[in-house]
Amino acid sequence: MLTRMTVLALTWAVLGTSPAWADYTLQRQLALAPGGTFVLDADVGSVTVTGDSASGALVALTAADDDFERTFDVQIEERAGVASVRVKRRLSWTSELFGGGWFRGRDVRLTIRVPRSTTVSMRTSGGALHVERLDGPVNLKTSGGSIDVRGIRGNVDADTSGGGITVADVRGAVRADTSGGPIEIDAVTGAIDARTSGGGVRIRGAGGRVDARTSGGGVTVGFAPGNSQGGNLSSSGGAVRAEIDPAVSLSVEASSSGGGVQSDVPVTVRGRISRNSLSGDLNGGGSLLRLRSSGGGVRVAASSTARP
């Protein structure tokens, strides 16, 4: 029979995480078949979720606090098609603040492995979220950290109040919303909706419609070759730039109150020509691409990855 320490050592080997710094550790193997749902609701901690080919969910929690169980209540459950983890504070914030316990749990980490086809839904108040290699949809919300999502074959919904958002290699639609940092998105086949109040937006390889707006920086969007779905790009804190395939059909409306408007692609102008605005059609017109800035210039450029 395996001892608890042997099982724990095997868990760290599988998850690739070293517990050398941890004063408190907890690990659990849960029944979760491919196609199921994993749910996390945590008041604290950074979280890493990775999909693989194995059945079942493997959950490991570490904390630099040997009194962790006094401050937090951990509930791990499994039922038909669903595995869930809840990490909740036992006391009210006022009791913990004046009792010296509010700052406990700052170094909590959750490392989770699930089947690739799992639907993942996570909410945390206290840390960063990292998710990779999943074939199901992903819904993430944190009030206290950044979000990093990679290698997803479903839709992604990411929301944070306390950091930036990075998304790469998604075969689906993406919604990214933050009030505390920049947004970086690369290689997404579906529609993108990106919003931030605290940084710039940079998107590359956009395969669908793009709606991107910020009040804290610039917006740069590179559309994938052949993408003619248009979108709405706006900034009140910096320049706006769209890189498009010159061979697609688009209608363009661009304006700026903080700089000039420039097009490097051959747009047939409609109406009057102005230094601060442009309205016209590319290859006869099509879906509308609107660009607006009150904090810098606006430019429509040919994509460096456009079709020859």
Is 228 exposed, middle or buried (CB count within 10 Å of its CB: 0-12, 13-18, 19+)?
middle
What's the mean pLDDT in 138-156? 96
Q: Is it the case that residue 100 has pLDDT exceeding 70?
A: no
The contacts of residue 255 (CB under 8 Å, 6+ apart) are 261, 276, 277, 278, 291, 292, 293, 298
Determine which of 11-25, 63-77, 112-126 has the lowest per-residue pLDDT on average.
11-25
Indicate the residue among 64, 96, 116 that finishes a domain.
116
Tell me the pLDDT band of 103, cut-offs 50, 70 and 90: very low
**191 and 82, same structural domain?**
no
**161 and 49, same structural domain?**
no
- Give the integer Cα–Cα distance in Å for 281 and 289: 10
Asked, for residue 238, whether it belongs to a domain, the answer is yes
**187 and 112, same structural domain?**
no
Asked, for residue 292, whether it belongs to a domain, the answer is yes
**Helical H runs in the chain?**
4-15, 68-71, 93-99
Q: What angle do CA 103, 106, 107 make, to 5 degrees?
A: 145
**150 and 110, same structural domain?**
no
**302 and 258, same structural domain?**
yes
**6 and 101, same structural domain?**
yes
Q: Indicate the number of domains in the chain.
A: 2
Q: Is it the case that residue 98 has pLDDT exceeding 50?
A: no
**233 and 156, same structural domain?**
yes
**105 and 35, same structural domain?**
yes
Asked, for residue 205, whether it belongs to a domain, the answer is yes
- Domain range for 1 is 1-116
Tell me the pLDDT band of 14, cut-offs 50, 70 and 90: very low
**236 and 171, same structural domain?**
yes
Asked, for residue 127, whether it belongs to a domain, the answer is no
Asked, for residue 23, whether it belongs to a domain, the answer is yes
Q: What is the mean pLDDT of the chain?
A: 88
Asked if 164 and 145 touch (Cβ cutoff 8 Å), the reply is no
- Per the confidence metrics, is the pTM higher than 0.85? yes
- Give the integer Cα–Cα distance in Å for 221 and 186: 10
pLDDT at 93: 53
**104 and 154, same structural domain?**
no
**292 and 151, same structural domain?**
yes
Asked, for residue 268, whether it belongs to a domain, the answer is yes
Asked, for residue 68, whether it belongs to a domain, the answer is yes
What's the mean pLDDT in 250-257? 96
Indicate the residue among 66, 98, 116 that finishes a domain.
116
Asked, for residue 135, whether it belongs to a domain, the answer is no
Indicate the residue among 71, 98, 116 that finishes a domain.
116
**176 and 45, same structural domain?**
no
pLDDT at 18: 44
Is 108 exposed, middle or buried (CB count within 10 Å of its CB: 0-12, 13-18, 19+)?
buried
